Amino acid sequence: LLQYWAYHQPSRDITAKTEHKTSGYDRETMRKCWELLDHSSRSFASVIKEVDGDLARVICLFYIVLRALDTVEDDMTIPEDVKQPILRSFHEKTVTPGWHFTGSGPDEKDRVVLVEYANVVEEVLRIDPEARDVIVDIARKMGTGMADFAHNAASKGVLSLDTIADYDLYCHYVAGLVGEGLSRLFAATGKEAASIATQLELANSTGLMLQKTNIIRDFREDSDERRFFWPREIWGRAEYGAGVPAKDVTQLLAPGEEKRAAWAQSGMIVDALRHATDALDYCRLLRNQSVFNFVAIPLTMAMATLDLCFMNPAMFQRNIKIRKATAAQLIMQSTNPREVACIFRDYARSIHRRADPADPNFLRISVACARIEQWA
């Protein structure tokens, strides 16, 4: 389905095939890396494999490197004094032949990525030096940022965020930098114009919209694991609790606090929608169909997820996911910037329609949805 090309000219029936040869399958180490990708990301593995030629392999390795870093950050069984130096030197480990790590807890889902990391190192050392430098540079910046937040969390005894600025900074480290790195890789491999590598603000926003959507949707799961990414500046607003600020973020899960939870949820969603027009601007700069699909599909899925979460109390009870049929439709429709903008507009309308005038965010929601509508 991704083969059909209607990019920029949806009225015409132009088809351009993607190169479609998953590269590196002739080597045992690269086969292992594709296997690690399949293992750690159900949703991303398929879109990454559809990317043209060598860029797919580079993105696969980039993904695994950052997933490995994320696994170290996440693992609460690794003592602080072990975790700090690993996070801060991870970019060096990534180019140290034979390096691997067996110290993560047995319950860690992506433990295997660290155990088998020597395969990743071997393949990272094989890629074009310009692309490799991007991966190493992003791993260094992300590792440093994660270590700073982990250090702060260790001294408080819990990972939590106070201001929206802290939240934006955390998301910059774990997702905005992914956008920056991908832009530089698109340019370095010649798949996109060299100028895309300079659009760091738009690339950051694209990453933030995706990351924030996950943080909103996963609130319950993260709370159960005592990780709190929703910033106090949003959930603690007095106006969400009839003038009484929430003392603790877990108050959102308490019986009788449904209104407060709903308003905090819409406050978080309107904050994520702030990045939607930048993400659309970023999509519009892409020229390669396979790269476009890789960026646009996760974005339309995120927009659908924000619509699903909006005013949905079930989100506080259990994991919710968009329907398989909706996901399939979004994959088919996310072919060009105009279609993506229409999808965004339709979900913005759906959110706007369901906004409650009693919600303290009501005006904020109207403005955010109108901005998306204006763009489209």
Site residues, ligand RWZ (CB under 6 A): 44, 59, 62-63, 66-67, 70, 174-175, 178, 207, 210-211, 214, 298
44 is catalytic: no
In the set 117, 219, 294, 344, the catalytic residue is 294
In the set 67, 132, 184, 217, the catalytic residue is 217
**Is 75 within 8 Å of 106 (Cβ atoms)?**
no
> Toward ligand RWZ, which CB reaches closer, 167 or 263?
167
In the set 170, 186, 240, 282, the catalytic residue is 170
Give the chain's largest Cα–Cα span: 64
Closest separation in Å from C-beta 62 to ligand RWZ? 5
> Toward ligand RWZ, which CB reaches closer, 64 or 285?
64
Closest separation in Å from C-beta 155 to ligand RWZ? 22
Secondary structure class of 159 (helix, strand, coil) = strand
In the set 27, 111, 140, 227, the catalytic residue is 227
63 is catalytic: no
Sequence-ordered list of residues with C-beta below 8 angstroms from that of 219, at least 6 positions apart, any chain: 230, 252, 265, 315, 316
> Toward ligand RWZ, which CB reaches closer, 145 or 337?
145
Q: How far apart are CA 293 and CA 209, in angstroms?
A: 17
* DSSP assignment of 73-112: HH-TTS-HHHHHHHHHHHHHHTTSTT-----S-TT-TTHH
Closest separation in Å from C-beta 58 to ligand RWZ? 9
String of b and e for 87-103 (b: at least 16 CB within 10 Å)? bebbbebbeeeebbbeb
> Toward ligand RWZ, which CB reaches closer, 181 or 236?
181
347 is catalytic: no
Closest separation in Å from C-beta 196 to ligand RWZ? 15
> Toward ligand RWZ, which CB reaches closer, 285 or 301?
301
Closest separation in Å from C-beta 334 to ligand RWZ? 15
Alpha carbons within 13 A on the beta-carbon side of 361? 28
Residue whose entry in the numeric block shows the structure tokens 């609460």: 76
In whole angstroms, how far apart are CA 183 and each of 2, 63, 223, 374?
21, 14, 33, 26
Query: Which of the residues are catalytic?
Result: 170, 217, 227, 294
